[in-house]
Amino acid sequence: MAEYQYDLVVIGAGPAGESAAMNGTKAGLRVAVVDERSTVGGNCTHQGTIPSKALRHAVHQVMQFNRNPMFRHMSGQKWLSFPQVLETADRVINKQVAMRARFYARNRVDLFHGHATFKDNNSLQLQLDDNKVDVLKAKDFVIATGSRPYQPPEIDFDHPRIFDSDSILTLTTTPRNIAIFGAGVIGCEYASIFNGLGSKVDLINPGERLLAFMDDEISDALSYHLRGHGVLIRHNESFKSVEGFDDHVVLTLESGKRVKCEAFMWANGRTGNTDSLNLEAVDLEPNSRGQLAVDDHYRTKQANIFAAGDVIGWPSLASAAYDQGRSISGVISNNGTYRHVNDIPTGIYTIPEISSIGKTERELTVAKVPYEVGKAYFKDTARAQITGEEAGVLKLLFHRDTTELLGIHCFGDQAAEILHIGQAIMSQPNGGNSIRYFLEHTFNYPTMAEAYRVAALNGINRLF
């Protein structure tokens, strides 16, 4: 048994763990990172954000080709199989792993690959692949172990036609039809992907609307768009049973409906990866979803044990996890890089994309804030007409009296990129946050950014 001493030990090599380690080592801390995988990147790189977004991009490219009239005289429509688009994701994953491995080597962060469990508040036991055991001691720890799909015990996930959002990446064929239970971010993204591959999709939603946390109009736009492309959406449904057969799956709903499909995907809920850390040894107890409670500095009730990323719950975004991890090592090293992560933009990579920051119309109405709306429809912008990506809208919510931007909501191609222009204006101090910025500055033409000018004019013209 070998024993090692560090200033900071991070459990998990995903976005939160990586950023905590890099910021810590740059601040002069001696840092080690532990991960069960033999390669770095965490769930984000291997099973979550990177593969699903790479899949989405490949499918979107095929869809663009098929609907572009310029190519119709060259050949008929082209279709790629699910395994073919997975090859694109594999290439991206390999590039991400190689790049991130260089980060660790360049910054001299020690990497350990094995299963970590707490012995006490200042030591971890590390079970290595060769059955050897090491002990890592440290002043501070960061738990950044991420999450995994929740699996109801009554569903047989070992069946070759039943998947969750991790195992779907092992699918070896393109199903003619697929049922997806759960219409949150993951369910909607995969509904778009399989619909783009030509599969018939049944999207089963336990709630009343898709992405209920989004602005109602944007949620409705996604629902309308998916339905227009043949996705069958069923709201307010709960599942009763899932039966797997040799060549199909039957999903039975509590309402009595039955859905037959070649493949079934469960996309309803995730669980924090905390159950195997022996948290009892440090007197920490996760909630029913495996998540840990933290304070505004991401500290658990143990002063030297921090947590970040999916394992602390909302917002469960890679972008937020990076900032949370960096902030934790800023607290530990006192190097001035701490900030509490809030006002986080949401990016949802359906086809088309959705992105949002700030308040929704529903929230402003409940709060009785006098707001006005400015809109720009993509079909009316020259750049969208040129690219053929005409489905979409940019929606600005602003205060009637001060013209302060209160919320930005975008549905359409490159929505996650377009949003950041408005985000930058919203963060301006001393009256700099105003919709009038878009009227007082010139935008390149033709660009999608021009939609801000169009939306601002539309909104200002509503004032009286």
Binding-site residues from annotation for NAD(+): 182-189, 269
Binding-site residue set = 53, 145-147, 182-189, 269, 310
Report the binding-site residues for FAD: 53, 145-147, 310
In the sheet with 263-266, reading across from the earlier edge strand, the strands are 162-164, 263-266, 177-181, 200-204, 232-234
- If DSSP codes are grouped into helix, strand and coil, which group holds residue 224? helix
Q: For residue 210, report the phi and psi dihedrals to the nearest 5 degrees.
A: -70, 140
Rg (CA), the chain: 24
Burial of 106 per CB tally in 10 Å (0-12, 13-18, 19+):
exposed
Residue 234 dihedral angles phi and psi, to the nearest 5°: -120, 115
3-state secondary structure of 141: strand
| CA distance readout (Å), 305 to 299, 329, 374, 391 | 6, 11, 46, 47
DSSP codes of every residue in 309-359 = GGGG-TT--HHHHHHHHHHHHHHHHTSS------S--EEE-SSSEEEEEE-
Residue partners of 72: CB distance under 8 A and separation at least 6: none
